[in-house]
A and B are shown apart, each in its own frame.
Chain A
Amino acid sequence: GAVVSQHPSRVICKSGTSVKIECRSLDFQATTMFWYRQFPKQSLMLMATSNEGSKATYEQGVEKDKFLINHASLTLSTLTVTSAHPEDSSFYICSALLTSGAPYEQYFGPGTRLTVT
């Protein structure tokens, strides 16, 4: 149980275009999901906390107008990278919070490799 999927797994887009990444909790409902960014050989950097039915909470230094987050249902959160630039190329990972036990646990998706040309 507690499976999280991400789509697409890889995406290449041209500079100036927008790309949407989906994160789904397949067998549980998640009020809270997280979006991370990871650069090679570095730790996961939390970008934002996505809350179902409300606005996302962004970490300091993350542009909310550039990284649009929508958590429209208890099983789906989306991250849209708007007007992408080459420096946005990275590995994006989502996680969903399972709250049925204590402490709450995050289950991670397989990640999305974004390349902006």
Chain B
Amino acid sequence: SQKIEQNSEALNIQEGKTATLTCNYTNYSPAYLQWYRQDPGRGPVFLLLIRENEKEKRKERLKVTFDTTLKQSLFHITASQPADSATYLCALGSNYQLIWGAGTKLIIKP
């Protein structure tokens, strides 16, 4: 069956450093992959989408890579700030259906 893995342990990063989150998947060939941010008690907020034929996507301090051979996506936040602390979810998509990872909690320490 399809499986998405995100690091279940919280990631602690010092302010100003680059945070890197990982999303691995098996038994699936998504047409695209999305990253979302979710704050406690709130719905997910869309951040970035990367298609299967794209290697890398950037948006301000965010960068996403997508390796369909490794079946892995990396999500980077450069010059991290305490306000970046949240849970980050990856979701794999085909047409409009999404399959979700459980998310990784990111904590940026001042």
- Taking Cβ atoms with an 8 Å cutoff, the residues of A that contact B are 4, 6, 32, 41-44, 46, 91, 93, 95, 97, 99, 103-111, 113
Contact = CB atoms under 8 A, between A and B. Distances in A.
Most buried by B among A42, A43, A97, A110: A43
Nearest to B102: A43
Contacts of A41: 8, 102-103
B96 A32 contact: yes
Contact of A44 (B31, B95, B100): B100
Given A32-B96, A44-B89, A97-B96, A107 B46 contact: yes
Interface of B: 4, 8, 31-32, 36, 41-46, 49, 51, 89, 93, 95-96, 98, 100-103
A108 B44 contact: yes
A43 B89 contact: yes
Chain A at the B interface: SS class:
strand
15 contacts: A32-B96, A41-B8, A43-B100, A46-B98, A91-B41, A103-B93, A103-B95, A105-B46, A105-B49, A106-B98, A108-B36, A108-B45, A108-B46, A110-B42, A113-B41
Contacts of A6: 43
A107 B98 CA distance: 12
B43 to A, nearest CB: 4
